Every structure is written in C-alpha cells, then in structure tokens.
Amino acid sequence: MSDHEFDVLVIGAGPGGYVAAIRAAQLGLRVACVERTPTLGGTCLNVGCIPSKVLLHTSEEYAHARAKLARHGVVVSGVELDLEAMMAHKDKVVGDLTKGVVGLLEKNDVTHIEGHARLTGPGTVEIEGPESRTVSAGAIVIATGSVSAPLAGVEVDEERIVTSTGALALAQVPARMAVIGAGYIGLEMGSVWSRLGAKVTVIEFLDRVLPGMDGEVATQMHRLLRRQKIAFKLGTRVTGAERTNEGVRLAMEPVAGGEATSLDVDVVLVAVGRRPNTEGLGLDEVGIPLDGHGRIEVNERFETTVPGVYAIGDVIAGPMLAHKAEEEGIAVAEIVAGGSGHVNRDAIPGVVYTAPEAAAVGQTEEALEEADIDYTVGRFPFAANGRARSMSATDGFVKVLADAETDRVLGVHIVGHDAGTLIAEAVTVMEFGGSAEDIARTCHAHPSLNEAVKEAALAVAGRAIHV
Ligand code: NAI
C-alpha cells in the first residue's frame, strides 16, 4: 500500500465512516476521511439520532411536568414551553458532539478532507470542495449513508412539507400535523410534536405500525400512542398533497379500496423510509453495481466488485442503524489491516425512542413461525415489576423467545420505560449464544426494571415468580 498517499480513504464521516477511520488509524494505517458537509458526524449526529433524542427527552420532561409529576405529589405551576430555547439546547448538543468528532479524528491522526468524493478508478478518488484534489489510497471505504425516500405527489419544501430534517427544526408548534409513515421516524417525531401540543395524525400504508418489529410490540405501541392522543389512519395511502392558504391538504384513499378522503394540516412529515446515498460517487464509471434496492452489493468482507473498494452502513444491505454502521466500520478497518473483522447480524438491537420505548433484538415471533422454528415464549409485564410501579412506568412487557429444544435465546422484545437500555442485556446474551436459563439464573439487582427481563426468561420455563 506504500505507493499510495493513504492506506485507507473513507468517504463519509457519519458513525460508520468516522469509526472506520479511527479504527484503521489505531491499527497503524495512514487514513483520510472525506466529508462533503462542513460538520462531521453524518445524519446521525447532525439531523438524526442525536437532535431527535434531545427533543424526545425534553418534550417528555415537559409532558411529565404538565401531567405526571402532580400524580407523584410534585406540584409545579406555570409550566411553559420555550421552543426557541429547546431548539438552542438541541443545537448546542449537536455542535458539541460534532466538534468532538473533529477532535477524535485529530487525536488519531486521521486527515480530514472537506469535499465531495467521486471514484475515478481503482485506488483513486477525485475530491471537489474547498481544496479540490485527487487522492490515491490502497483501500477506499464508501460510508455515504442514506437520504430520505421521496413520496410521489408529496413534494418536500422543508417548511410545510418536511423530512425528519425539517421536523427537527420547526419554528413553532403546528396546530395540526400529519405524519406519513408509522416507522421509527414517524412515531418518534410524531411523539415530540404531539407532546408539545400538535394534533398529530399518523397515516400508514400497512395495517400496522412499526413493520419489521414483533407484531405484539406493534399492537401494544399502537394502543399506547393512541392513548397519548396520537391519531392513526392505518391501511391508508396518501395520493397527493396540495398547498393551501392555511397549510397543506393531503389526499388519501384506503389501500383496500374505498372512498378517497382529505386531511387539512399545518405541517406534513414524510417518513416513508430512507434510501442509500450513492449519487455522484462514480460507481457506474468504476463498475460497482447496485442491487434492486439501490444498495451497493458487498461480500461478507464488505468488498464491492472492484478490488480495494469496500462499503459499509446504510449504503449496503441490513437495517439502517447508526450502531450497525459503527460495527461494520470497525470490522472493515480490521479486514483492511489484515485482520478478521466480523459483524454478527443476528444480534443487532433496534430501539424506537418513544415513551415507552420499544426495543428488540433477534427474531420476531412472525419470523420464527415463517421459518418453522419450534420456540417457547416467556412474557412478563412491567405492571408486576416493583421499580416500574414506583416510577408509574407500568406500561409494556418483556418477551423472550427461546429455541424449544436448546433453550438458546432467539429474540427478545421489550415495550417499556428505558427499553433501549434494557435490551443490552439480551444482546450480550445472544452474542454469547446464551440460553433463557442463563438469563434466569443470573442475579439481577432489586428493585430494577431489568428484573422484568429475568422474569420473562424464567417464564420461558413456566417458572416466573412475580406473576
Ligand atoms: P421506516 O422504514 O422505519 O418506516 C417507514 C414507514 O412508512 C413504514 O411503516 C412504511 O410501511 C410506511 N410507508 C411507506 N410508504 C408509505 C406511503 N406511501 N404511505 C404511507 N406509509 C408509507 O422508515 P423511517 O421511519 O422513515 O426511518 C428511516 C430509517 O431511519 C429506518 O431504517 C430507521 O431504521 C432509521 N431510524 C432509526 C431510528 C432509531 O434507531 N431510533 C430513529 C429514526 C430513524
């Protein structure tokens, strides 16, 4: 690799790219990371995971101050929303973290190049930006992430009709908001604006929320979010959006057929999925094909069809999640350095940060049934957990799915307070190939929400104690 200017050039400084760059540098390689936007951290840090979590947290605190605290004997009065201050706090968190990534790259001697990268041949990349140049590298890692998928007939202007980016920066609380898509983004951002006072209607093509998650989780989340006054129109297709003097008029029709209807709102959030960001990368020119979903095809070593060119994260197959991209970033760096990086795709958690949260790892019941795998189920409700009761966080349950013959944990699904943290235990057990019995015989602190995970594992063998 010594003929090249760098051993590794990473395209994209999101959680996949910057982690790959740092890991490669730790392994002694000469690394550069190209990013077209002025700030590092990608969608996740700038307009995704982090700012949404700031708004989810602060809007939940606001909702608690208005409704929940009084039930616990804490009387607060004069609770007001200062949206400008809330947004300023969000921007500060984002600013601090993106600057933190700059510091991390510097600390690890990763050369940061600002500009848009385009592959021009094996080992060469042309960068257009403040300092346009051609760079040569022994290995090139494409980590360019994803962009919001468009919806025909609903043109985004990021003011009245927004993607998640616009939904993170509304200047005022809309009186009426429509959310198209009941996936991760739709339910999280719908929750934020509903708590802040908007009348939110979620319109979903399928007849359920959260496709891909376990059916029981979806049913429970649908029920709990309706209780929070979020309205749902399932099995409904949006056919168009028209700007009116007051806002937007959405045209809809039932997927199963029937009469068309319309809905007048102030703001529409389009959250119908994301698609791989491969535009302008020169993939065609160098002969890297895309699959039917627009993703870059790679083998288990993250190699594309062109030697020395790798791809990770949202541009390849698998869930579009920051932590999946990070793991792939580590693995690809280790592979490029001559090691044997690996990502266990069976143990990647997914978390929806609503209140309560929904978290999952491994297989759903539907997937196990479809694959004709014999499994046993253990369930435990948070209503029977002492810590949850003390916090008035009794909604939800833990469900453990284990192989009927071997007891190996095949999937864990949680709806409940802090489910995103609780799921970590299940991920670790699955990574070690552990059994429900392993969880059940592990001492869990009392009182803690984690005890619900232990009880659900006990329930797999019909011996839960507290139900
Ligand atoms: P998604 O794939 O989670 O959900 C999209 C939803 O839109 C689906 O329910 C789909 O059936 C529905 N849909 C598609 N076309 C439609 C149409 N024409 N009319 C009505 N509904 C329609 O995608 P989402 O929520 O946009 O998120 C994008 C990606 O970002 C996801 O892959 C997710 O993994 C990631 N993400 C992860 C978060 C987290 O980890 N907490 C938070 C936000 C996003």
Spans of all domains in the chain = 5-148+275-343, 161-272, 348-460
Q: How far apart are the CA of 209 and the centre of ligand 1, in A?
A: 10
CA 18 vs CA 31, 142, 202: distances in Å:
10, 11, 35
Q: Report which ligand 1 atom has the smallest distance to the Cα of 274.
A: 28
CATH architecture of 348-460: 2-Layer Sandwich (3.30)
Pocket of ligand 1 (CB under 6 A): 151, 180-186, 188, 203-206, 211, 237-238, 271-274, 319-321, 351-353
Q: How far is the CA of 279 from the centre of ligand 1 (A)?
A: 21
What is the Cα Rg of the chain in Å?
A: 23
Say how many Å lie between the CA of residue 234 and the centre of ligand 1.
14
Ligand 1 atom nearest to CA at 164: 26
Distance between CA atoms of residues 138 and 57, nearest Å = 43
Cα–ligand 1 centroid distance for 177 (angstroms): 17
Q: What architecture is the 161-272 domain classified under in CATH?
A: 3-Layer(bba) Sandwich (3.50)
Quote the ligand 1 centre to 108 CA distance (angstroms): 35
Closest-CA residue, ligand 1 atom 14, reads: 272
How much distance in Å is there from the Cα of 59 to the middle of ligand 1? Answer: 21
Which pLDDT score, from 0 to 100, does residue 122 have? 83
Q: Distance (Å, rounded) from C-alpha 145 to C-alpha 396?
A: 33
- Alpha-carbon gap, residue 204 to 232, rounded angstroms: 8
Q: Phi/psi of residue 21, each to 5°? A: -65, -45
Pocket test for ligand 1, best of 162, 233, 272 (most atoms within 8 A of CB): 272
DSSP string, 174-241: -SEEEEE--SHHHHHHHHHHHHTT-EEEEE-SSSSSSTTS-HHHHHHHHHHHHHTT-EEE-SEEEEEE
CB contact at 8 A, 201 and 233: yes
| Calpha distance 186→75 (Å, rounded) | 32
Specify the long-range contacts of residues 389-392, CB closer than 8 Å, at least 24 apart. Answer: 390/447, 391/417, 392/68, 392/71, 392/72
446 a catalytic residue = yes
The C-alpha atoms of residue 131 and residue 341 are separated, in whole angstroms, by: 34
Q: What is the CB-side half-sphere exposure of residue 399 using CA atoms within 13 A?
A: 24
Q: What's the confidence (pLDDT) of residue 335?
A: 98
- How far from 25 is each of 29, 330, 336, 403, CA to CA, in Å? 5, 11, 11, 41
CA 249, CA 374: separation in Å to the nearest integer? 49
Domains 5-148+275-343 and 161-272 belong to one CATH topology = yes
* 270, 274, 314, 326: residue to mutate for ligand 1 pocket, most atoms within 8 A of CB: 274
The reply to whether the predicted model has a pTM over 0.85 is: yes
Name residue, tokens 């979590």: 53
Residue whose CB lies within 8 A of the most ligand 1 atoms, among 49, 154, 184, for a mutation test? 184
**pLDDT tens, position by position, for the chain (467 residues)?**
457 899 999 999 999 999 999 999 999 999 999 999 999 999 999 999 999 999 999 999 999 999 999 999 999 999 999 999 999 999 999 999 999 999 999 999 999 999 999 999 989 999 999 989 999 999 999 999 999 999 999 999 999 999 999 999 999 999 999 999 999 999 999 999 999 999 999 999 999 999 999 999 999 999 999 999 999 999 999 999 999 998 999 999 999 999 999 999 999 999 999 999 999 999 999 999 999 999 999 999 999 999 999 999 999 999 999 999 999 999 999 999 999 999 999 999 999 999 999 999 999 999 999 999 999 999 999 999 999 999 999 999 999 999 999 999 999 999 999 999 999 999 999 999 999 999 999 999 999 999 999 999 999 999 999 99
> Which candidate in 4, 57, 413, 446 is catalytic?
446
Contacts of residue 420, defined as CB under 8 A and 6 or more positions apart, other chains included, come to: 349, 351, 353, 357, 359
Give the position, in ligand 1's atom list, of the atom nearest the Cα of 314. Answer: 32
- Residue with CA closest to ligand 1 atom 32: 320
Contact 40, 102 (CB under 8 A): yes
In the prediction, which pLDDT does 330 show? 98
Expressed in angstroms and rounded, the spacing between residue 252 Cα and the centre of ligand 1 is 19
CA gap 118, 134 in Å, rounded? 9
Rounded Cα–Cα distance for residues 243 and 160 (Å): 8
Q: How far apart are the first and last CA of the chain?
A: 62
For 11, 211, 450, 453, the CA distances from 424, given in Å and listed in that order, are 30, 22, 10, 11
Q: At what angle do helices 15-26 and 322-336 cross, to 10 degrees?
A: 30
How would DSSP label each residue in 391-418? Answer: TT----EEEEEEETTT-BEEEEEEEETT
Note the pLDDT of residue 3: 77
Q: Which CATH number fits domain 5-148+275-343: 3.50.50.60, 3.40.50.300, 3.55.40.10, 3.40.50.1980?
A: 3.50.50.60
- Packing angle of the helix pair 49-63, 83-107 (nearest 10 deg): 140
Whole-number pLDDT of residue 2: 54
Give residue 27's pLDDT: 98
Burial tier of 84 (Cβ tally within 10 Å: 0-12, 13-18, 19+): exposed
- Which pair of structure tokens corresponds to residue 377? 């189920």
Q: Whose CA is nearest to atom 26 of ligand 1?
A: 273
The length of the chain is 467
Name the residue among 159, 173, 153 with its Cα closest to residue 247: 159
Ligand 1 pocket test: which of 163, 185, 427 has the largest number of ligand atoms within 8 Å of its C-beta? 185
